[in-house]
Structure 1
Amino acid sequence: MKLQRHGVSACLLAVTAASAVALAGCGSDNTPTANASGSASAGSSDCATGQISAEGSTAQGNAMDAWTQGYGKKCGASVTYNKTGSGAGVTSFTAGKVAFAGSDSSLKDTNQPAADKRCGAGNKAVDLPMVVSPIAVAFNLKNVSKLTLTPDAVASIFAGKITKWNDPAIAKSNPGVTLPATTITTVHRSKDSGTTDNFAKFLDAQSKSIWTFGTGQAWKAPGGKGVPGSADVVSAIKSTDASIAYVDGADAKKNSLVIAALDFGQGAVELSTDTIGTAVAAAKVTQTGSDIKLTLNYGLKQAGAYPLGLVTYEITCQKGLPAAQSKLVKSFLTYTSSDEGQDAAAAAGHAKLPKDLQTKVQAAVATIS
């Protein structure tokens, strides 16, 4: 997978997860100690033991569940990850409450200074891409098990301009499908969310004349049903007939939601690791030191590409964490960016990092001290 590169040497890292996992062999939250035996290994670095806390993105939750369990078994350490959403994760990180944050977006210029300050004088907080996650457009419509939508139709639905399931704009893409004249219920995230930000970027890029609400982690369109997290979106879709939502792809598949295919003008494109991988291959990579940011082309209309997705980040201090805590963060992220860690993420429903990007992430993690 080829990626464009811009900037200086860099690295990435992103770990996601969504639930607290306590494993054996813990010390205090800020004082992990080296593995006494020194025999176990996470990726290419030695294990660390002890305990750290992290929080943030729900999109990387399934990967983080797999990672915290896998690393705990391998190294006897406890990494607790709370799925509170990207905005809450970054806020907790900058306040010094967690060792790293999971985020569906890289640090913005407006919150970079606070994140840097948390790392101490002269130190930087870095963005480390770790998980590739598609965003599903999932729906619950009685007697309809397959649906294709154009980006314009998706934008019109979430903007409140298409309100009935049998609207001509939907029917046109679904010949032979009997669509009811039922009112559409849209479901969105009520708390700041990186998934919302990436979904809005997609609508803005693909259907700018229809989607007039801009981008950002806060949902800005009127109407619809707002719920806090990804698990709540899944629950709302399952329990509400004639509903539609944007939701983390891994959660959609894990919970057997019905996912719409998207037609960008060259036929229906199903959500899969291959189609999201094709879109990530077209991303621009900007590197500054050990900070790596990806810019996805949300307006991509390439055949076989599914450009509705995100790359989630782990945000931490390259330098400046307490020494023992830094060792555990570095060891854990070395594991998540290893082949073993990426295989675990794929088994949890995500796509693996492209090989060249994975190499850069591993190099970036190695600079944490």
Structure 2
Amino acid sequence: MTASVLSVLLASTGLTGCALLSRAGPAAGGRDAIIASGSTAQLGAINAWREGFRSIHPGARIVYRPNGSGAGVRDFVRGATAFAGSDYVLGAQEQALADGRCGDRALHLPMVVGPIAVAYNLPSVPRLRLSPATMAAVFGRTITMWDAPQIAAENPGAALPHREIDVLHRSDYSGTSHVFTSYLAATSGWPYPPSADWPGPGRGVEGSDGMAETIRESGGTIGYVEYGYASGAGLRTAQVRNGAGEYVALSPEGATKAVGGARFTGRNGDLAMTLDYSTKAQGAYPLVLITYEIVCARGTAPLARGFLRYAAGNAGQSYLSLLGYAPLPQDVVVQVRARLAAMT
């Protein structure tokens, strides 16, 4: 990829919430149009893939509405889109509805790894370290002050202020919330089940861009948001303790190491995966999400299949780390490419 093309991709990622809302063709897209919707977490990657794909297919129109994972799944189920972007694996009821829309099987295709930042605004603390147990207590509001003994013990010498923690969560139906609560439930004493609807206390804000902007503008805040949004807003992010006992700073490389321990749990060609949030892999940043494209195993339009093949190809995966994401591990991307090649 040339430097000029890459600069276009970086400029087009829209990580501050720029949305593509143009109208094109019939609901799910025609021969020269693709309409899709869903995860806000993958918007930057989708925009970059869009530009790269259109350099090869100049007449193609790709519209992606970043309306959240839940809304994207609903759009797909009612036949309004060619595929849905989702940060979580469909539950049994949603899977049945998606299968019904397809008249066969709806598949999960992992396409991008998104590290989730625990972002905060505390000028006196340039580096913050958090274990899963302390993080769960903060977001569950059993720890309410920044200078609480549990936080101080993990951050010796830090200038922690005697100030109440302003805990933020997503107010909308969010795949990022589902992943974050899944992580807390798997690694700590978090008392709530995983949910795309935030189950605990705190102050709600809408959307990834809203989360990043609120943290940036409000002192004493802490929240969770995809790395690209945190980076775009210039936010400080906590180091997170993994299963090996290391406090690891957020990075695309650390996220890819964490996904290396995931396993496929889908059946009959479905590539749904289960993450090991307690991974002991050295240098793994454990708080990650996998964004899936949910598609029909049969009947997906050729242009949509071509776009997804581009996204899973060497070009589509090669520059993700520059956009705040992590590329898929090689063994995973091989499976995705094989599944796309088998689709009709």
TM-score using structure 2 length: 0.90
User: Equivalents in 2 of 1:301, 1:190: separation in Å?
Assistant: 32
* 8 Å contact kept, 1:134–1:271: yes
**Shift of the alpha carbon at 1:155?**
0.3
User: Equivalents in 2 of 1:94, 1:30: separation in Å?
Assistant: 11
The aligned length equals 327
Q: Map 1:193-232 onto structure 2 (within 5 A).
A: 193-208=174-189, 211-222=190-201, 224-232=202-210
Identity of aligned residues (%): 40
**Shift of the alpha carbon at 1:329?**
0.8
Work out which of the residue numbers 315, 330, 337 in structure 2 matches 1:355: 330
Farther off after superposition, 273-282 or 99-108: 273-282
Displaced runs of 4 or more, over 4 A: 26-31
User: Equivalents in 2 of 1:285, 1:317: separation in Å?
Assistant: 18
Q: Could you give the per-residue CA deviations for residues 70-117 of structure 1, whole angstroms, max 9, x where no partner exists?
A: 212221211111111100100110011111100001221121111011
Farther off after superposition, 131-140 or 293-302: 293-302
TM-score using structure 1 length: 0.84
**Shift of the alpha carbon at 1:130?**
0.3
- Structure 1 counterpart of 2:259, which letter? V
Q: Are 1:247 and 2:225 an aligned pair?
A: yes
Equivalence for 1:256? 234
* 8 Å contact kept, 1:22–1:79: no
Equivalence for 2:270? 291
Equivalence for 1:341? 316
Equivalence for 1:166? 147
Alpha-carbon RMSD: 2.0
**Shift of the alpha carbon at 1:276?**
1.4
* 8 Å contact kept, 1:133–1:312: yes
In structure 2, the residue corresponding to 1:110 is in which secondary structure? helix
User: Equivalents in 1 of 2:264, 2:204: separation in Å?
Assistant: 33
- Structure 2 counterpart of 1:172, which letter? A
1:339–1:220 distance in 2 versus 1, CA, 3 Å? same
In structure 2, the residue corresponding to 1:292 is in which secondary structure? coil
* 8 Å contact kept, 1:190–1:218: yes
User: Equivalents in 1 of 2:272, 2:29: separation in Å?
Assistant: 30
**Higher RCO, 1 vs 2 (CA within 8 Å, ≥6 residues apart):** 1
Work out which of the residue numbers 94, 105, 127 in structure 1 matches 2:108: 127
Q: Are 1:61 and 2:61 an aligned pair?
A: no
1:179–1:288 distance in 2 versus 1, CA, 3 Å? same
**Shift of the alpha carbon at 1:334?**
0.6
**Shift of the alpha carbon at 1:30?**
5.1
**Shift of the alpha carbon at 1:206?**
1.1
In structure 2, the residue corresponding to 1:96 is in which secondary structure? coil
* 8 Å contact kept, 1:21–1:79: no
The runs of 5 or more residues in structure 1 that have no matched partner are 1-16, 34-49
Q: Are 1:93 and 2:76 an aligned pair?
A: yes
User: Equivalents in 2 of 1:287, 1:200: separation in Å?
Assistant: 21
In structure 1, the residue corresponding to 2:342 is in which secondary structure? coil
